[in-house]
Amino acid sequence: MKKFKKAVLILLVIASLGVFIIWGMNLAGGAFPEGVFVGSQETSLPIFHLVAESLMAVVTLIGVIGTWRNKPWGNGLTLFGMGMFTYSAINSMGWTVLNDPIQSIPMGITLVIVIAAIPLFIKFEK
């Protein structure tokens, strides 16, 4: 179980860094030519999505560091970040499936890993 938890923590770090990489590639590729502060009825304001996903990645990274350092808040914060990843993966796939299906692959993988790992971060009373 410890090896699986360590593997999950490493995958969460990779997923968190991947969020910044994907956003960086999208922004560098001109995803929002008018800027992230300009939206429409169909797209809303991109800055909110960017901030939410950045916060998700940062919260998860801090949680993972806390878990590795055996801090009492580490598992809870990691679990919270995993919940954020679950929501984000499901929500974002609504766009990627229609517009860029290749980006759905890492989101789907992240979703499976996060759901499978939830019991590792919940304390059960004996």
Q: Is 101 a domain residue? A: yes
Q: Is 98 a domain residue? A: yes
Q: What pTM does this model have?
A: 0.87
CB 72 within 8 A of CB 115: no
Residue 121 burial by Cβ neighbours in a 10 Å radius (0-12, 13-18, 19+): buried
Q: Is 32 a domain residue? A: no
Q: Is 48 a domain residue? A: yes
pLDDT at res. 21? 94
pLDDT at res. 1? 61
Q: Is 69 a domain residue? A: yes
Instruction: Tell me what the mean pLDDT of segment 98-124 comes to.
Output: 88
Q: Which helix (H) or strand (E) holds 121?
A: none
Structural domain of residue 52, as residue ranges?
44-118
Specify the length of the chain in residues.
Answer: 126
The SS3 assignment for 40 reads strand
pLDDT at res. 48? 93
Render pLDDT for 39-83 as a digit per residue (tens, 0 to 9). 877 767 889 989 999 999 999 999 999 999 999 999 999 999 999
Percent of the chain past pLDDT 90, that is, above it, reads 61
Of 120, 106, 113, nearest in space to 18 by CA: 106
Count of domains forming the chain:
1
pLDDT at res. 53? 94
pLDDT at res. 60? 97
Q: Is 105 a domain residue? A: yes
